[in-house]
Chains A and B, each alone.
Chain A
Amino acid sequence: MANVLHIVVCAGIVPDPLQTLEPVTGPTGPGIKNEMVLPAVLDPWAACALYEAASLAARNPGSKLWLVPLGPKAKLQQVMMTVAQKVPFELVPIDGLIGGFPDAHSTAAVLAETIAELPGLDRSKLLLFGGWESATRGAGVTLQLVGERLGITDQFQGVDEISLRDDGSFEVLERVEGGKHQVSVCAGAPAVLGWATGNLAEPRNNPQVGMANMRTIMPALQKAKAAKLEANGLNYVSVALPKQQRDTRVVKDLTPDQIAAELVAWIGAE
């Protein structure tokens, strides 16, 4: 028997991982140089959460999927051109700062407020999804804080798998130390699931899905509410690139035997 779920996926946008990042300090605090012109992508772990959510929604007819991203409207529009072709969702964008330096508590407050006001959301069916960490701040706390603000006390982080049962309960696999998964059974929604990579590959672009999504995405972007993020007493003393640059020795003229001998000596050395 299918369970009707209301899945909300929180996501940020991040500079494409192949871009060079250089920190700068402006009047509002630290940021990334030319961040607004760097190509951006949906945060990788949040993207995994979105694909898992879409798969879950598709297997449970009647379910709804909202994507709630926070970022500058112009960058969100650029990223949605790609993301919209992957899976069907309803976009609820929030126009706010890009980047990893704003305080996570402020981000969570804005997200929680937006989710609480979603029209048609039944909180008893709510599964709050997102990446367990972002590729910007990487704090791994935003989703927890949103869950707390929404009064959800069944939370799971580093999730790789969820198996929904007929009675609405689900088994969830969370990453723990030593390459293992903790297996838990939760009585059902509402719950918070911070996803690691999950088990799904990135869906192929589907122009039909893209066209259906874009009909609602552009109006949603126009209506995106602006969010002001408080600092909450957070002060950056310094923000810098790591100084460690190694003096690489490139070895081109050794035979496999010689390389193997050198490596074995290196492995054995304390």
Chain B
Amino acid sequence: METILVLTHADETGSALSKASLEAVTAGKELAARISAPLTIGIVAADAAAAADTLTSTGARLLAVFGEAFAQARYASDAVAAEALCRAAKATIVLVPGTSRFARVAAGVAHRLGGFIDTHITALGGTEAIEACRWFYRQRIEAVLSRSARPWFLLLDASTHAAFAGVPGAGQVKQIEQVAVELPPLRTTVSGFRAPAQDAQTIRPDAKILLVAGAGWTKKQPDGQVHVGEAGELILGFLRTTGASLGSSKSLVDQGVEGNSVLPFLTHLNQIGQTGATPRHAKGLSTCCHGEEPHVVGWRFIGDRRAISLDPNCGWTRGKADVVYVADAFPVMAKMNALLEAKKA
């Protein structure tokens, strides 16, 4: 019989579980119900009591490693915490949220326990055995796999399950069992986060729409000149009025590294595709991008896709977008921004 452990951790505030952790809790509850297995939830946080408050209605056994050392996302401390939770739970299946914090340590923990890990899991299924669905070759090939070896760690992609919406303090109050750990010498200190200023942050994972800017924005226009400044204003104007997240093609970001005139707010973090992110948004609008495979693999989880391109034979027209507008993105974006501003006013 399987025993399921869901590993969770606190968010940046330290007093609540991260959204991805709550999604993993949902996945754990569903799996436990389906295969009639006991469910344990492990918490890593500075203050586990506050973080566990929403979990009381799960009915699961709650284990926690807590203390000031676990406020920071750091390999050495997180690995011993997760290892201790797994040993205490005696889990055969360990569900782990695919956050940067746990993605950093999950494989190492699996190795310490003599277990195995599969990552980027998008769905769990199977009738006889547990089967996990994931993508290979940067979202170009989809596979369903299973493992006979235990413990089996499954790192779940974010936004593939609904976040568990337990009511704080509701249900049967559960005792949190503290799991003691011995910290190894810590050689790494987390000194903080570096992010663009609030109004300059263009990556918004929770946005409904993704706007992708391709290299065409920096190409010569019909007047024989490049209009990078105007392009930047149009793109930022769209982001302001819609709250969209901004993605970019690799070629556009690379132009900046090579010292060419570029959109100053773009960094490698904006990159979507083969060497970039694969975000999840309900809608996506591509502008000035050819829509070839290395780029479009980053759009695998974008629901409704539209593109503006001057090329009627671009990649988007070959079954990769729902609607392709054959047009110059400059005037279209300008008109669109004006309409959005008017609507907002």
A binds B: yes
A residues in contact with B196, CB < 8 Å: 179
Judge whether B327 and A174 touch: CB under 8 Å.
Answer: no
B106, CB-defined interface residue at 8 Å: yes
Taking CB atoms and an 8 Å cut-off, the chain B residues in 321-338 that contact chain A are 321-328, 331-336, 338
A28, CB-defined interface residue at 8 Å: no
- The stretch among B45-53, B112-120, B161-169, B174-182 that forms the contact with chain A is B112-120
B209, CB-defined interface residue at 8 Å: yes
B268, CB-defined interface residue at 8 Å: yes
A90, CB-defined interface residue at 8 Å: no
Judge whether B108 and A242 touch: CB under 8 Å.
Answer: no
A58, CB-defined interface residue at 8 Å: no
A contact patch SS: mixed
Given A174-B100, A241-B140, A154-B187 contact (CB < 8 Å)? yes
Task: Count residues on chain B whose CB falls below 8 Å from chain A CBs.
Answer: 100
In the complex, the chain A residue whose C-beta lies closest to that of B192 is A183
B residues in contact with A237, CB < 8 Å: 126, 131, 143-146
A residues in contact with B146, CB < 8 Å: 235, 237
Of A100, A147, A234, A250, which one neighbours B137 at CB under 8 angstroms? A100
Q: How many inter-chain residue pairs (CB < 8 Å) link A and B?
A: 272
A residues in contact with B143, CB < 8 Å: 30, 101, 236-240
Give the docked Cα–Cα distance between A175 and B276 (Å): 12
Judge whether B274 and A144 touch: CB under 8 Å.
Answer: no
B residues in contact with A18, CB < 8 Å: 292-294
B residues in contact with A248, CB < 8 Å: 316-324
- Cβ distance B278 to chain A, nearest Cβ, rounded Å: 9
- The stretch among B2-10, B24-32, B71-79 that forms the contact with chain A is B71-79
- The stretch among B60-68, B213-221, B305-313 that forms the contact with chain A is B305-313
B residues in contact with A69, CB < 8 Å: none
Give the docked Cα–Cα distance between A21 and B131 (Å): 24
A23, CB-defined interface residue at 8 Å: yes
Give the docked Cα–Cα distance between A67 and B205 (Å): 35
Judge whether B104 and A144 touch: CB under 8 Å.
Answer: yes
Given A148-B112, A181-B194, A137-B136 contact (CB < 8 Å)? yes
Judge whether B275 and A197 touch: CB under 8 Å.
Answer: yes
A residues in contact with B209, CB < 8 Å: 267
Of A138, A156, A175, A254, which one neighbours B138 at CB under 8 angstroms? A138
A residues in contact with B195, CB < 8 Å: 178-181
Taking CB atoms and an 8 Å cut-off, the chain A residues in 212-270 that contact chain B are 232-242, 245-252, 254, 256-257, 259-261, 263-264, 266-268
B225, CB-defined interface residue at 8 Å: no
Judge whether B322 and A246 touch: CB under 8 Å.
Answer: yes
B199, CB-defined interface residue at 8 Å: no
B residues in contact with A76, CB < 8 Å: none
Given A100-B137, A232-B116, A201-B75 contact (CB < 8 Å)? no
Give the docked Cα–Cα distance between A259 and B323 (Å): 11
B residues in contact with A182, CB < 8 Å: 73, 100, 190, 192-193
A176, CB-defined interface residue at 8 Å: yes
Taking CB atoms and an 8 Å cut-off, the chain B residues in 238-270 that contact chain A are 242, 254, 257-258, 268-270
Give the docked Cα–Cα distance between A23 and B111 (Å): 29
Given contacts A48-B275, A141-B106, A185-B188, 8 further A-B contacts (CB under 8 A): A101-B143, A135-B137, A148-B112, A153-B184, A178-B195, A181-B193, A201-B258, A257-B335
The 6 closest A-B pairs by CB, nearest first: A179-B203, A141-B107, A260-B335, A233-B149, A233-B148, A17-B294
Q: Which residues of A contact B (CB under 8 A)?
A: 14-15, 17-18, 20-21, 23, 30, 32, 44-45, 48, 100-101, 103-105, 135-141, 144-145, 147-149, 153-158, 160, 171, 173-188, 196-201, 232-242, 245-252, 254, 256-257, 259-261, 263-264, 266-268
Q: Which residues of B contact A (CB under 8 A)?
A: 73-76, 79, 99-101, 103-108, 111-112, 116-120, 126, 131, 135-149, 184, 187-196, 201-205, 209, 242, 254, 257-258, 268-271, 274-276, 283, 285, 292-294, 300, 304-306, 308, 312, 316-328, 331-336, 338-340, 343
